[in-house]
Amino acid sequence: MNETYEALFTQSDFEKLKSIVSEHLQTEEALIEHNVPTFYLKQPQETKRAFLTLLKKLEENNLIAFLRRVDGKLVLRIFPKPTAKPYNILINWLLFLATIGTTFTTGYIISISGGFINPIIGGATFMVTIMAVLSVHEIGHGLTASKNGIEATPPYFIPGPPPIGGFGGIGTFGAVIMQKSLPPNRDALFDVGASGPILGFIASAAATLIGLPFSIYTTIPEGEPTLPVPMFIRLVAPLLLKPPTGVTVEPGYKIAVFLHPIAFAGWIGFFVTMLNLMPAAMLDGGHVARSLLSEGKITLFTLLSIIFLLYVNPLMAIFVLLMSMHKHPGPLDDVSELSRSRKILVAILAVVFILSFPYTI
């Protein structure tokens, strides 16, 4: 079958498409609507596995299919497969190196503030740990995308300002992988959304467990703000931190913990995980929610997430608001339901969100 848009709609090619679709799905009607080969499917019938098999067959002809429920009918439409735009790997490497520089500088500065670790060692350990946490998160997305046949770019690390001049930067705005094709079904969409936060949480927990024993107690003035503490750190801190013996607390001061750079990287990892799991827009949590809910309900959850983020992180709220202006495309097969095992995993993601959520008592 020819790959050009015009050749797709010759009568001969349309007959071939009818034959291919009929091999995998039961059709009631086949026609061309608005220059698009369209098939109305019989109900009920199993579509999840059949659609995946059909996709592989269509890919041989450089075609792609969308399965949607429209006015109670199952509608399959076939299009030429879009050509993925090329990316410049040099940009990925330049951003990666820039983020190494900004995160090292961040670790160097916070080590000077703590005064209990060599700044060069502190800068290096923070840089290695935070880059590892971000990388593990993105590797989760990348491996899952590859497994499900989703084209994706290598990760783009985003450098950010270090904490200089009173600005509380952390040296990075995270990392992102760009998907260049849609997930085949809701299972794949769920897997892509859930894999990053789960692996990122594990990496953050590992960094916290390693770094907390090397953290120290200090005293700060009463009323001075401190970092909100994720639930996971609250649970493990009593087991890993030695009692604050020998720390003199003068009037007007209170005891606080100065995190080792490795533990601070873990704290950032928890915060990133919590933000990513918000059920909004194109965030990881948005992918998970879209695999479970209809588009209308997603809009409601996105609005609630933005309101919540206005309290937690106003900058992130603005970012999600901008993201929400673009409609979530959903998977190619937006009819087949999410598998039962993945619905159970939603409870695990909820636990990950709770354990990652930072709050101040």
- What average pLDDT does this structure show over 306-328? 85
Distance CA 179, CA 155 (A): 10
Give tens-digit pLDDT for 47-95.
999 999 999 999 998 999 999 999 999 999 999 998 878 889 999 999 9
> For residue 119, which of 103, 105, 99 has the smallest C-alpha distance?
105
Please compute the mean of the pLDDT values over residues 22-27 and round it to a whole number: 94
Mean local confidence (pLDDT), 277-287:
91
Give DSSP secondary structure letters for 69-121: EETTEEEEEEEEPPPPPP--HHHHHHHHHHHHHHHHHHHHHHHHHH-SS-HHH
By the 10 Å C-beta count (0-12 exposed, 13-18 middle, 19+ buried), 79 is classed as middle
- Percentage of the chain beyond pLDDT 90 is 67
The model's pLDDT over 220-242, given as tens digits with 9 standing for 90+, comes to 888 888 889 999 999 999 999 88
Higher pLDDT, 133 or 226: 133
Query: pLDDT value at position 167?
Result: 67
pLDDT (tens digit per residue) in 259-274: 999 999 999 999 999 9
* The token pair that represents 137 in the structure block: 């998160």
pLDDT (0 to 100) of residue 115 = 84
The more confidently predicted of residues 144 and 6 is 144
| 321 has a pLDDT exceeding 80 | yes
pLDDT band for position 5 (cuts 50, 70, 90): very low
Q: Where residue 35 falls among pLDDT bands split at 50, 70, 90?
A: confident
Write down all domains in the chain, each with its CATH number in brackets.
5-80 (3.90.1070), 89-215+260-277+331-359 (no CATH)
Give the pairing of strands 36-41 and 63-70: unpaired
Range of lowest pLDDT (33-42, 151-160, 197-206, 315-324)? 315-324
Q: What is the DSSP track for 185-223?
A: SHHHHHHHHHHHHHHHHHHHHHHHHHHGGG-EEEEEETT
Q: Is the pLDDT of residue 7 over 60?
A: no
Radius of gyration of the chain (CA): 25
Distance in angstroms (rounded) separating the CA atoms of residues 185 and 196? 18
Angle, vertex CA 205, rays to CA 203 and CA 211, nearest 5: 100
Q: How confident is the model at residue 6 (pLDDT cuts 50, 70, 90)?
A: very low
pTM of the model: 0.89
pLDDT tens digits, one per residue of 168-225? 789 999 999 998 899 999 999 999 999 999 999 999 999 999 999 999 988 888 888 8
Dist CA 356 CA 230 (whole Å): 5
Mean of per-residue pLDDT scores for the chain: 90
Band of pLDDT at residue 293, cut at 50, 70 and 90: confident
Residue 8 has pLDDT above 60, yes or no: no
